[in-house]
């Protein structure tokens, strides 16, 4: 359904501004402003009571339900732009035991992809990462996160523009929250040295996480030539 190859094709926005690109530069500016402004809670779409993903849905790499957290694993949530490439980045990380893509940080329960694309849910595209802390630390996952996108871009990553592409870390414990804030501050020093602006990554405890549709799960395994680049800057922090 969404086997697209360019940023402009990857997400077609729904809603009253769907055809705004045909109406001139002013409307284009209004459309862009809407896409990069978080929706107010009372204006968010209503969503639905049930998940858009069948449970169980089996992981193409790990062979277990994407909804499952394996025994002795902990969970982290990372949003770094398009979730297709981000999920692949983490499923290839040694010590990661499961991954799933979905939506979080917004207001609409169980949204569809088209609804998230409309900028009327408040959600960001995010990866749920299950990991074995005896094999890979949370701090190591944070390092991978900050090194594989540009966390200073606000409501975009490269050509992907909108609130759904914002950088975010949602935490599952006070310890994760403190570690994420510390690592962000360390990376801010490195980004400032490299002449980037302030890191805009949202860091907060996880609220509700909603699974994305099945065709998004392990998308780049199903579609190896799909569009979804990693926007690494080359900035690192040791």
Which residue out of 11, 82, 117, 228 is catalytically annotated? 82
Residue 174 and residue 78 in contact, taking contact as beta carbons nearer than 8 Å: no
Classified as helix, coil or strand, 203 is: strand
> Mean pLDDT over residues 214-222, rounded?
98
Query: What CA–CA distance (Å, rounded) separates 84 from 126?
Result: 9
The structural domains of the chain, with segments of one domain joined by +, span: 55-222
Do residues 77 and 104 touch, judged by C-beta distance below 8 A? yes
pLDDT digits (tens, 9 = 90+) for 160-216: 999 999 999 999 999 999 999 999 999 999 999 999 999 999 999 999 999 999 999
Residue range 133-146, pLDDT digits in tens: 999 999 999 999 99
Residue with the two structure tokens 């299950």: 130
CATH class of the domain whose range is 55-222:
alpha beta
**Cα 79 off chain centre by:** 3
Q: Which helix (H) or strand (E) holds 141?
A: helix 138-147
User: What pLDDT band is residue 32 in, cutting at 50, 70 and 90?
Assistant: low
237 is catalytic: no
38: three-class secondary structure by DSSP: coil
């Amino acid at each position: 359904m969404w086997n697209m190859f360019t940023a402009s094709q990857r997400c077609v926005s729904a809603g009253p501004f769907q055809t705004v690109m045909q109406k001139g530069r002013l409307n284009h500016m209004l459309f862009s402003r809407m896409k990069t402004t978080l929706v107010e809670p009372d204006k968010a779409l209503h969503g639905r009571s049930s998940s858009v993903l069948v449970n169980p849905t089996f992981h193409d790499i790990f062979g277990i339900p994407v909804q499952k957290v394996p025994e002795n694993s902990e969970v982290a949530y990372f949003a770094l732009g398009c979730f297709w490439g981000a999920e692949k980045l983490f499923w290839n990380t040694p010590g990661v035991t499961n991954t799933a893509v979905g939506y979080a940080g917004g207001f609409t329960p169980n949204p569809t992809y088209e609804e998230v694309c409309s900028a009327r849910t408040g959600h960001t595209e995010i990866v749920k990462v299950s990991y074995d802390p005896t094999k890979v630390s949370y701090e190591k996952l944070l390092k991978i996160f900050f090194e594989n996108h540009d966390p200073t871009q606000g409501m975009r990553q490269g050509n992907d523009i909108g609130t759904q592409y914002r950088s975010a870390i949602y935490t599952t414990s006070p310890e994760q929250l403190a570690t994420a804030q510390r690592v962000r501050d360390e990376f801010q020093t490195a980004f400032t040295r490299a002449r980037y602006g302030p890191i805009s990554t949202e860091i907060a405890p996880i609220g509700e996480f909603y699974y994305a549709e099945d065709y998004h799960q392990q998308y780049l395994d199903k579609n190896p030539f799909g569009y979804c680049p990693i926007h690494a800057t080359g900035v690192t922090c040791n």
